[in-house]
Chain A
Amino acid sequence: MIELKGIHKSFKNLEVLKGVDLTVQEGQTVALIGASGSGKSTLLRCINLLETPDKGKIVIGNYSFDADNMKAAVKREARKRTAMVFQNFGLFENKTALENVTEALIVVKKMAKADAEEVGKQYLEKVGLLGKKDHYPNALSGGQKQRVAIARALALEPKIVLFDEPTSALDPELVQEVLGVIKNISKERVTMLIVTHEMDFAFDVADQVAFMDNGTILEVNTPKELFAHPKNKRTRQFINRYTQRFSYTI
């Protein structure tokens, strides 16, 4: 279980997170939606401490820490329990697909190279890319890169996988192949928090949808409830704008 309590974060004078509370139950997929600039990505980056929160408490499974106590060791422990899938893939450019998956297993988890390769191949298989294991990132399509990144994240067996707009940098044709992979792993009850603008996908895959606006989470509910009966006025506005997109008369 992941719990965020009163997360605050400011950049210079701009307060991006204004006390965010959020709980992700073990095995659940939570989609985080909201307008650009509402703080979704910053919240995600605060969970694995790529950004250090100014205030608040984070619980990841049995490990909890406070924003007041941000030593390097705490950051490392937190990062060992989380994994991130970036918008721009973030694959190591100097490593093959397989090495991208095994690198952290060998360096961080101190796994033997042969064992790490076994695990690595298993996860590449899972995202359907075992055949590309010796390809460097620059020889992969955007969708393939993102699938390798997902394999890399899953191989770490983290308490939670954080997805930061995983399909925003892909052309429309490649979006589905990545969403398909994410959908499959959500069926395996991997705990996930996904920042996304793909409303259909959120509706389809998420157990819970959280709507974020202006640095706070306004509403959390099941997708059916949230999309059909948004309680908050701001949520309704946002949802309406999205549903309108698909109701043009041509």
Chain B
Amino acid sequence: MGKIFSVEFMLEIIPDILKGIPYTISIAVVAFFVGISIGFFGAIIKIYKIPVLKKIVGVYVSFVRGTPLLVQILLIYYGIPILLRIINQQFGTTFDVSKIPAMVFMFAAFSISAGAYLTESIRAALLAVDKGQMEAAYSVGMNTFQGMTRIVIPQAIKVGIPVFANFFIGLLKDTSLAFAASVPEIMGRAKIEAGRASRFFEAYIAAALIYWGICILFERLVVVLERKVRKNEGGVEK
């Protein structure tokens, strides 16, 4: 064995690990935005207590929050092909599972997971807006949609930004689980490199630094965003 810690090896593999960034980012971004959409409908259903749908959302949120993300990823990864086989048998169609890229499964799995968590976050953000705001909107003649989009949601976003940012950071790092479905994202590439040279620690340090770097950039972005959304706290429109 050579050195205890090889900086050279670490630097050498970083370019290869960086190639995993597009996978990591795209899974996180797609899951976040699809999750926000699912979460918004989930939150509205819960707040307005819409019958039947309310039960379905309840079970969905409970299941996703009650099972590990890794298990959900594997369930989707192995479950969707089985589902497609059943559909093919039943309806005589010929969908070819092998032609669907693994990334599509990952988008689905991470979105479903994000949607459940965001249902609760968005519900909390919407409920944090004073009830009087919607009443005031009604009192000047607005309908529910106008009151929601023009008055309540903008204020809920302001309340929710720190929570959503936190969630997105978590999501970015959770994408490392996508390697279980052989997606060559950051962690997957680090593992491959580590195994190739039997230098595990160097590879994982490299991966850690890359994740950290992405998250620092993102945190900067959130600070700017938050300053923009909180402009009314300065008191006067510039």
Contacts and interface: CB of A to CB of B under 8 A. Distances in A.
B237 A94 contact: no
How extensive is the interface on chain B, given as a class? 20 to 34
Contacts of A134: 236-237
Given A136-B236, A138-B235, A139-B235, A86 B141 contact: no
B97 to A, nearest CB: 47
Contacts of B133: 90, 92-93
A149 to B, nearest CB: 8
B140 A103 contact: yes
A103 B141 contact: no
Interface in A135-165: 135-136, 138-139, 152-153, 156
A11 B172 CA distance: 48
Nearest to A77: B141
A50 B235 contact: no
Consensus secondary structure, chain B interface: helix
Interface string B128-159: 00101101111111110010001100110010
A135 B235 contact: yes
Nearest to B157: A94
A84 interface: yes
Contact of A92 (B136, B138, B143, B158): B136
A79 interface: yes
Contacts of A76: 141, 143
Contacts of B132: 86, 88, 90
Report the 10 A-B pairs with minimum CB-CB distance, sorted nearest first.
A139-B235, A90-B136, A104-B140, A108-B141, A136-B232, A84-B139, A134-B237, A80-B141, A94-B154, A79-B141
